[in-house]
Chains A and B, each alone.
Chain A
Amino acid sequence: MSVFNQSRSRIIRFIFLLAFLVIIGQLFYLQVVEGKYRQLAMDNAVFAKVVWPERGIIFDRDGKAILNNTIIYDLMVTPAEVKGIDTLEFCRLIGIDTAEFKKRVLDARFKNTAVRPSVFKGLLTKELQARFEENSWKYPGFNLVERPLRTYPFNAAAHILGYIREADTKDIENSGNYYRQGDFIGKTGLESFYESVLMGQRGVQYMIKDNKNRLVGHYENGAFDTASVAGRGLRTYIDIELQQMAEQLMSNKVGGLVAIDPTTGGILAMVSGPNFNPNDLTGSEGSKNYSRMVLDVTGPMLNRAIGGRYEPGSTFKPLGALVALNEGVITPEYGYPCGGRYTLCGHGKPQCTHAGNGHAANVRLSIANSCNAYYAHVYRLTVDNPKYGNVKNGYLQWKKYMNTFGLGVRLGLDIPNEISGLIPDTSVYNRENANYWTSCTNLTLGIGQDKMLTTPLQMANAMCIIANRGYYYTPHFVEKIDGETADDTTLVNRFRVKHDVLTHIPDTAFSAVIEGMNDVVKFGTARVAQIPGIDVCAKTGTAENYTILDGRRIKLPNNSMFVCFAPKDNPKIAIAVFVQNAGYGATWAGPISRLMVEKFLNDTLMTKSKADLERISKTNLMPAYFKRVQFKEDSIRAFKWYQTTKDSSYIKRYVKTAPKQPSNPADKKQPVHVADEWMAILPDRNPFLKTMNSKRS
């Protein structure tokens, strides 16, 4: 029988062989032909862990860190590992109830699976972190994870330093995909301008992960890892104590302040009012505060020191004098018989605070007494200079001077969002005056009004030019970069170039103007800026301004302005201060400037100044009309919200109450019931023409 079936052994062998050949065939396909599995295995098991570099630190002129990094902790939970913990005690520790605990654990499980850690509570306070650390052994499955955070130890210089945010899709695109989702990028201020220096270099660690996505070790012992390179520090000119004081002075005021060291162009302090604490934008309340500030009509996020448009008013006069002197249309001894108003254009404007007594008998006196008629006339003399044939050419020449002084152009400092202000082109006047106009048309340009708009930075820089007798360095914050490289020079080299723009103006002209400005302090309008032992040169300014509110043009309190530099010989600081709707230049901006100079040059304050500091800091000069504007903005937004969502919860607030003008602007919260102000939210047919009275005594 065995012989009978002998042949079948061959068939069986053949079957065995066939099966093995099929298997080997499939193995050949999987392992040799198909290449994707190697990559799939890599994707499975190797995780490229990004190592964030520490961001660069920003120091003030004395080497104090004004923008630093700190570590804050996120409490993470890995739901699968949470076993046998005393939930009640844990909740008491963290300060939540058990229902919330359950919800959060469930959320974590849902979002990120039970085996991977997710945030249980973000950005723990120091106290909570300490409390948890003490007890952490009791709570398996919970652990703290470091999170680097920017911190501002002096709570100051928000507008200068800027802030960082997670890079959005646009940033990522613009960087050629260098940034990735989750990277932080400087959005404004120095953080943005010096991004390439501060960010450092991202490192990567290749980690092996297991089937539950837990990291279990280094891939190939870290052979492919790249170490991260920390961002480099910035050494700035900022005097942080000066900055802090300036912010204190500008609190509850709208305006801008810039202090520059004329010898280097280094910005010592820069404040925009209203201000905010930079630490508000970091940490757990960050995004909440951010949205609040974005919606605030007073514009705390706007840097008015470089982005505010102000008529310079009388602070412009020294510039007008210098131009005229250089053009030879006047000499330092030139006088104008001002009788209280300028009559040569027929309308008796502008008026002058002084009358007679030769208060404008020469350049020096005209500055000291701030004679409007004198400068209106000087302006006319400049633009009507026969040398240039007609007023348009003369005006263009004058405009060139203005641009050389830095007005009407961007200076290009090292933070973004600077505006150019405005020195209008002839085309503007041509259009408005049917191509026919004379020097009388824009006469008040001579006294820093008409269409002229400047920023505090531009005026401070103009002061530097006068203080330096003709040259300036582009204003900037950063003196040097730690470990400066060739690439960095493109960033900072232009700040090291001396611009000899107006050194061709004769020294006599500068002397006349500088002496005049010195006289302003000695016995002119800026006596408030006198500091014993220091020769301060200054010029006050007061500009009228109006706004249109509820369809009506209303006059607002004057802008208080002050520019100065000190000491007269060998100046070390130049300042421009603009306080909106505050009053005379000498009332608010003057003392603020004096305090700044005093603090910077003497390092201490006089007793009188200390009192002034106290008084000014406590004074609230926020214009009252903002309240009304805010109400309108909010109600319109609420109405739009209602229109799109039919959720009336917001709109109700504005229907029932509207803030009445409080007698004291410091009283902010006094919502008073006003019947049926429905229409407030319908700006198209706005019947409100009489609700505003913004005149303040």
Chain B
Amino acid sequence: MRPQNAAISKGIDWSLVWIYLLLVSIGLTAIFAATYKEGDAIFSTFIGFKTDYSKQFYFFLFSFVLGFVILLTDSKFFSATANLLYALGIFMLLLVFPFHSPIKGTESIIKLGAFNFQPAELCKIFVALALSKYLSRPETDFTKTRSQLIAAGIALFPAALTIMQSETGLALVYFAFFIVMYREGLPSAILVIGFSAAALIVATLLLEKITLAIVLTSLMLLAVYFTRRLWKRKSGLLYSIIFIWILCVGIQLFVVPIAFKKVLKLYQIERIYSTVGKDVPTEYVEAHTEELAKATDKKKDIDYNVRQSKIAIGSGGVLGKGLLSATQTRYDFVPEQRTDFIFCTVGEGFGFAGSVVLLGLYLILLLRIVTIAERQRSTFSRSYAYGVASVLFFHMAINIAMTIGLAPVIGIPLPFISYGGTSLLTFTIMLFILIRLDADRQMVLR
């Protein structure tokens, strides 16, 4: 046993472990600051499993122990069981439909005794593993469209299930796996098209339908005019330009309105529009009258969240107010402040300096993971590392961006910091699997 243990500890990238511990400590401090009430005995409440920070502390202990168990596991175990775990993940997601607990606003949580368990969170690990497994198969040729579609399917199938559980935010996380696919050879064009589509949708939100249609048409005509010499040689060009034009106008005139009217909920539309700083057009509001009747103050709530969150962070100034003097976060002005809006506590308590330090930690973590990914000899490990980096990146960037008004409010937690057992457990497992794989980085085949 001894030499083997020594071998394991030798391969471990301790920098990741330290960053992990640092982030979790920051998280515990922030949760403590957000939920501590004057007069509580700090030590006893910390041990007592009554308060949120105490619970989070025990979640951490549990996760950390599990992390060590993972480190002791044979690294081949993960590649070997990747598909099985994926199936298990899908099964759990499906289990949610009949067995989800009646918690307001979500249908993604199963109650296990005192714990709320959210399979949609955990499933990210399995997708990362399964995707890596697929990409690392010797028979997979990722230059083929079919392979690309299968890979996308692996990533997006759980997303579809998650959307059906009213957890759009968590579902969007799965799109982060496109970064992995990009690294493994997905044509840049697809990402460019993806960004263009996003740009088109934003333009749809900002501009009147007719105006945008005219702009698109003019662009098409200009493209046709400038490429007229090329038609002769490449006859397909003209058709593809016209096809793109039809596609764009179609999305803009029909797909987006239909999505807004039929697919998305009113509050989601409002969040999307509030990000670009506009009111929801009346035609969409009218399409959701029955929902409007149910929740009249939803709109106010969304504005309120972001405004209060911005006030909290903005009022922190350069150096912050100090941990327990942060009035915004301590007196409940920011909603969801221990979970999705935990960054406010850092921003208000420790100011710009503290925020930059935290962001720096995250950036170091991400870049370190990318470095680790690039030193892997197996595709599986590399893809998995990229998967971890992508998911973490998506979570951090979107979570912090939404607290400062740069992104729509979609409820996803800040990794290692936000309160929540499943979330902490998920990210811990993800990270420690990576550390375990990295420890055996010399292995080529899995």
Name A residues whose Cβ lies closer than 8 Å to a Cβ of B: 1-2, 4-6, 8-9, 12-13, 15-17, 19-20, 22-24, 26-28, 30-32, 34, 36-38, 40-42, 44-46, 208-212, 216-217
Contact = CB atoms under 8 A, between A and B. Distances in A.
B336 interface: no
B314 A38 contact: yes
Nearest to B353: A31
A2 B317 contact: no
A92 B182 CA distance: 76
Contacts of A30: 310, 313-314, 347, 404
B331 A210 contact: yes
A568 to B, nearest CB: 75
Contact of A19 (B38, B348, B397): B397
Nearest to B393: A16
Given A19-B393, A27-B359, 10 more contacts: A1-B142, A20-B397, A22-B401, A23-B404, A26-B406, A32-B317, A37-B313, A41-B315, A42-B315, A42-B327
A20 B374 contact: no
A211 B331 contact: yes
A14 to B, nearest CB: 11
A239 to B, nearest CB: 55
A24 B333 contact: no
A45 B328 contact: yes
Nearest to A38: B315
Contacts of B182: 8, 12
Contacts, number: 125
Nearest to B373: A9
A31 to B, nearest CB: 4
Contacts of A2: 379, 382
B409 to A, nearest CB: 15
Given A2-B382, A9-B373, A23-B406, A36 B367 contact: no
A40 B308 CA distance: 9
13 contacts: A1-B142, A2-B379, A22-B401, A23-B400, A27-B356, A31-B318, A31-B352, A37-B315, A41-B311, A41-B312, A41-B327, A44-B311, A210-B333
Interface string B324-347: 000110011100000000000001
A609 B386 CA distance: 111
B411 interface: no
B157 to A, nearest CB: 24
Contacts of B311: 37, 40-41, 44
Contacts of B228: none
B382 to A, nearest CB: 7
A30 B406 CA distance: 12
A5 to B, nearest CB: 5
B421 interface: no
B363 A17 contact: yes
Given A13-B367, A44-B311, A32 B328 contact: no
A26 B366 CA distance: 20
A217 B38 contact: yes
A32 B333 contact: no
Interface string B302-316: 000000101111111
Nearest to B180: A12
Contacts of B316: 31
Contacts of B327: 41-42, 44-46, 208
Given A8-B183, A37-B310, A41-B312, A27 B352 contact: yes
B373 to A, nearest CB: 7
Ranked nearest first, the 3 interchain pairs of A and B with the lowest CB-CB distance are A37-B314, A41-B315, A45-B327
B253 interface: no
A6 B374 CA distance: 8
B255 to A, nearest CB: 27
A203 B405 CA distance: 40
Nearest to B314: A37
B256 interface: no
Contacts of A34: 314
A33 to B, nearest CB: 10
The secondary-structure label for the interface of chain A is: helix
Nearest to B398: A19
B363 A16 contact: yes
A26 B359 CA distance: 13
A16 B367 contact: yes
B279 interface: no
A2 B382 CA distance: 9
A24 B400 CA distance: 10
Nearest to A10: B370
Nearest to A30: B314
B89 interface: no
Nearest to B382: A2
B345 to A, nearest CB: 13
Interface string B184-200: 11000000000000000
Nearest to A5: B185
B394 to A, nearest CB: 10
B37 to A, nearest CB: 9
A381 to B, nearest CB: 85
Nearest to A16: B366
A22 B400 CA distance: 11
A13 B365 CA distance: 12
Contacts of B177: none
B331 A31 contact: no
A210 B308 CA distance: 12
Contacts of B415: none
B379 A27 contact: no
A211 B308 CA distance: 10
Contacts of A209: 331
A31 B185 contact: no
A24 to B, nearest CB: 6
Contacts of A27: 313, 347, 352, 355-356, 359, 404
B355 A31 contact: yes
Contacts of B348: 41
Contacts of B362: 20
Contacts of A36: 314
B276 interface: no
B170 to A, nearest CB: 19
A16 B370 contact: yes
B441 to A, nearest CB: 13
A31 B347 contact: yes
A17 B316 CA distance: 24
B351 interface: yes
Given A1-B142, A9-B373, A45 B333 contact: yes
A32 B318 contact: yes
A116 to B, nearest CB: 15
A628 B367 CA distance: 98
A19 B355 CA distance: 15
A244 B185 CA distance: 104
A222 to B, nearest CB: 14
Nearest to B304: A211
A44 B185 contact: no
A32 B405 contact: no
Contacts of B312: 41
